[in-house]
């Protein structure tokens, strides 16, 4: 790898990091928007007509109503999008392309013993992405990982003054969480996932707070995940507990696009990439399973011998 190319990868790494922060913030903003849109759903149900909305609530409300309707139509039938995405988005269409959460699909299969075509079709894109790029959902979509990203920075700051252990668990623990979640779901219904999956816990917390002005029980679950991250290890929840991350990591265990190392320029005394990786991936020894292609290690490598591309054979 020439020095010009090396410098380029440093920039690409920073670019990916910025992009991942940007896209996750976008998803977070969308969750907030959907929660605010519950008023739109009421108007739609009550009037279903922009002119009537203006007569009853004034011109600004009509503009907001029309704008909300056209924005939500990017994701499907507007009223249904708001109704079915209240903090727990099992499946959504983006510009006509269906996306289904794989855990939601498993949950539906376990409870109702049948799949619909729409669920099966909705799995095609997320599973293909996971197969090719691994856990990119974690770095570019999951809004909870944004909170964990911030928490890991807070933990890093606190570590300058206090000692925090770095607990490690077997990766199989998350499979246990998935199996346990499915069993509990059979008794208590699908809503249990708002306590188990961090991104549902976050979505539910936001939705309840904005739409109803109340604190959901999922907020306690989210708080617990954040606390675990601070006390037990950077992104502890994502590394060891979240079933979605484990499932996507397993699907993408031979991901085609991942982190690559130029061994000739790697320093024996260095382990920066391993230390910085939020998901415990170890690029130093060419272990790439669970990589979310977030770019953090590329940014920090002192010799810039890391890059992103097709898996090394
Ligand atoms: S492991 Fe789970 S909570 Fe963490 S980023 Fe991935 S999907 Fe989100
Ligand atoms: S190895 Fe870790 S830090 Fe590097 S891109 Fe993959 S997930 Fe990010
Ligand atoms: S950060 Fe770069 S130089 Fe350091 S161990 Fe990782 S690949 Fe090697």
Query: Is 10 domain-assigned?
Result: no
Query: Is 11 domain-assigned?
Result: no
Query: Is 149 domain-assigned?
Result: no
Question: Does the beta carbon of 281 lie inside 6 Å of ligand 2?
Answer: yes
Kindly state the DSSP code that residue 94 receives in the 8-state scheme: E
3-state helix, strand, coil in the chain (%, to 5): 65, 5, 25
Query: Is 301 domain-assigned?
Result: yes
Tell me how far apart the alpha carbons of residues 185 and 217 are, in angstroms, rounded to a whole number.
16
Angle between helices 102-112 and 117-133 (to 10 degrees): 140
Query: What average pLDDT score do residues 291-298 get?
Result: 93
Query: What average pLDDT score do residues 138-153 get?
Result: 94
Q: Can you give the pLDDT at residue 231?
A: 94
Q: Can you give the pLDDT at residue 2?
A: 56
Tens digits of residue pLDDT in 184-206: 999 999 999 999 999 999 999 99
Bridge-partner residues for 91, per DSSP? 100
276 Cα–ligand 2 center, Å: 8
Q: Can you give the pLDDT at residue 7?
A: 67
Query: What average pLDDT score do residues 124-153 get?
Result: 95
Kindly state the DSSP code that residue 309 receives in the 8-state scheme: E
Is residue 1 over pLDDT 80? Answer: no
Query: What average pLDDT score do residues 38-50 get?
Result: 84
Q: Which domain holds residue 294?
A: 257-310
Query: What average pLDDT score do residues 131-153 get?
Result: 95
Q: Can you give the pLDDT at residue 232?
A: 95
Q: What is the CA radius of gyration of the chain?
A: 21
User: What is the CATH number for 266?
Assistant: 3.30.70
pLDDT above 90: percentage of residues in the chain:
60
Is residue 57 over pLDDT 90? Answer: no
pLDDT above 70: percentage of residues in the chain:
96
Closest CA to 12 of 313, 304, 310, 311: 304
Q: Can you give the pLDDT at residue 78?
A: 83
Q: Can you give the pLDDT at residue 3?
A: 56
Mutate which of 138, 281, 312 for ligand 2 pocket (most atoms within 8 A of beta carbon): 281
10 Cα–ligand 1 center, Å: 25
| Cβ atoms within 10 Å of 67's Cβ, excluding its own | 11
Is residue 313 over pLDDT 70? Answer: no
Mutate which of 283, 296, 298, 308 for ligand 3 pocket (most atoms within 8 A of beta carbon): 283
Q: Can you give the pLDDT at residue 114?
A: 76
Please count the structural domains in the chain. 1
Tell me how far apart the alpha carbons of residues 82 and 197 are, in angstroms, rounded to a whole number.
20
Query: Is 294 domain-assigned?
Result: yes
pLDDT grade for 230, boundaries at 50, 70 and 90: very high
Tell me how far apart the alpha carbons of residues 9 and 244 are, in angstroms, rounded to a whole number.
29
Q: Can you give the pLDDT at residue 46?
A: 85
55 Cα–ligand 1 center, Å: 45
Query: Is 286 domain-assigned?
Result: yes
280 Cα–ligand 3 center, Å: 14
Q: Can you give the pLDDT at residue 8?
A: 75
Within 6 Å (CB) of ligand 1, which residues are found? Answer: 137-138, 142, 144-145, 198-199, 238, 242, 244-245
291 Cα–ligand 2 center, Å: 5
Tens digits of residue pLDDT in 59-105: 988 999 899 988 888 888 888 787 777 666 777 888 888 899 999 99
Query: Is 95 domain-assigned?
Result: no
Identify which ligand lies nearest to the alpha carbon of 134.
2
Query: Is 212 domain-assigned?
Result: no
Going by CA atoms, what residue is nearest to atom 3 of ligand 3? 266
């Amino acid at each position: 790898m020439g020095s010009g190319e090396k410098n380029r990868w440093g920039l690409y790494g920073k670019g990916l990091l910025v992009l991942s922060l940007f896209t996750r913030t976008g998803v977070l903003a969308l969750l907030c928007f959907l929660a605010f849109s519950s008023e739109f759903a009421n108007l739609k149900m009550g009037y279903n007509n922009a002119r009537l909305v203006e007569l009853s609530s004034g011109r600004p409300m009509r503009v907001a109503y029309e704008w909300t309707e056209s924005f939500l139509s990017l994701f499907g039938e507007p009223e249904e999008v708001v109704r079915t995405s209240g903090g727990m988005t099992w499946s959504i269409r983006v510009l006509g392309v269906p996306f289904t959460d794989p855990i939601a699909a498993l949950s539906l299969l376990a409870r109702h013993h049948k799949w619909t075509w729409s669920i099966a079709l909705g799995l095609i894109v997320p599973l293909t992405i996971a197969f090719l790029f691994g856990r990119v959902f974690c770095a570019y979509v999951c809004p909870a990982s944004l909170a964990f990203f911030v928490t890991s920075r807070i933990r890093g700051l606190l570590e300058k003054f206090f000692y925090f252990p770095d607990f490690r668990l077997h990766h199989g623990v998350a499979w246990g969480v998935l199996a346990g979640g499915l069993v509990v779901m059979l008794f208590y219904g699908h809503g249990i996932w708002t306590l188990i999956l961090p991104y549902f816990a976050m979505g539910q917390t936001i939705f309840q707070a904005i739409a109803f002005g109340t604190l959901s029980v999922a907020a306690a679950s989210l708080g617990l995940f954040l606390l675990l991250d601070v006390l037990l290890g950077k992104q502890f929840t994502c590394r060891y507990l979240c079933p979605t991350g484990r499932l996507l990591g397993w699907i993408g265990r031979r991901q085609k696009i991942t982190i690559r190392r130029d061994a000739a320029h790697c320093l024996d005394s260095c382990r920066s990439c391993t230390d910085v990786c939020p998901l415990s991936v170890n690029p130093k020894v060419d272990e790439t399973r669970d990589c979310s292609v977030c770019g953090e290690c590329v940014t920090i490598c002192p010799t810039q011998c890391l890059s992103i591309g097709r898996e090394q054979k």
